[in-house]
Amino acid sequence: MRTLKIPVIMLAAVVMALACNAQQNAYASIFQKQPATVGNSALRFYGGLSHQHQNYFNKAFSLQGIEGGIILNDKLFVGVYGSAFVSNHEITIENNPMYILMNQAGLAGGFTCNSTRLLHAGILLNIGCFSLAGNDKAMPVFKSGARAISLSGLVISPQAFAEINVTGWMRFRTGLAYNFYSYGDHSRVHESDLEKASINFGFLFGKFY
Higher-scoring residue by pLDDT: 6, 159:
159
This prediction's pTM:
0.85
Q: State residue 19's pLDDT score.
A: 54
| β-sheet bridge partners, residue 69 | 46, 79
Higher-scoring residue by pLDDT: 162, 185:
162
Strand 26-27 vs strand 170-178: parallel, antiparallel, or unpaired? unpaired
Express each pLDDT in 30-88 by its tens digit.
Answer: 988 777 766 667 899 999 999 999 999 999 999 999 999 999 988 899 999 999 999 99
Q: State residue 42's pLDDT score.
A: 81
* Cα separation, 70 vs 47, whole angstroms: 9
Domain ranges of the chain: 2-206
Give the pLDDT band (50/70/90) at residue 6: low
Which pairs with CB-CB distance under 8 Å and at least 24 residues apart come from 56-61? 56/89, 56/91, 56/100, 56/102, 56/193, 56/194, 56/196, 57/89, 57/91, 57/92, 57/93, 57/100, 57/193, 57/194, 58/193, 59/89, 59/90, 59/91, 61/85, 61/89
Express each pLDDT in 125-170 by its tens digit.
Answer: 999 999 999 999 999 887 777 789 999 999 999 999 999 999 999 9
User: H or E stretch including 193?
Assistant: helix 191-194
Q: Which residues contact 36 (CB under 8 A, 6 or more apart)?
A: 26, 27, 168, 209
Q: State residue 2's pLDDT score.
A: 55
* Cα separation, 138 vs 89, whole angstroms: 9
User: H or E stretch including 7?
Assistant: helix 2-19
The 3 state secondary structure assigned to 100-165 is: EEEEEEEEEEEEEECCCCCEEEEEEEEEEEEEEEEECCCCCCCCCCCCCEEEEEEEEEEEEEEEEE
Mean pLDDT of all residues in 202-207:
95
Go through the chain and tell me how many residues it has: 209
Q: State residue 56's pLDDT score.
A: 95
Mean pLDDT of all residues in 15-37:
68
Mean pLDDT of all residues in 94-116:
93
Does residue 11 have a pLDDT over 70? Answer: no
Amino acid letter for position 10: M
Least confidently predicted of 9-13, 171-175, 202-206 = 9-13
Query: What is the topology classification, in CATH, of domain 2-206?
Result: Porin (2.40.160)
**CA distances, 154 to each of 96, 99, 117, 148 (Å):** 27, 21, 35, 20
Q: State residue 209's pLDDT score.
A: 80
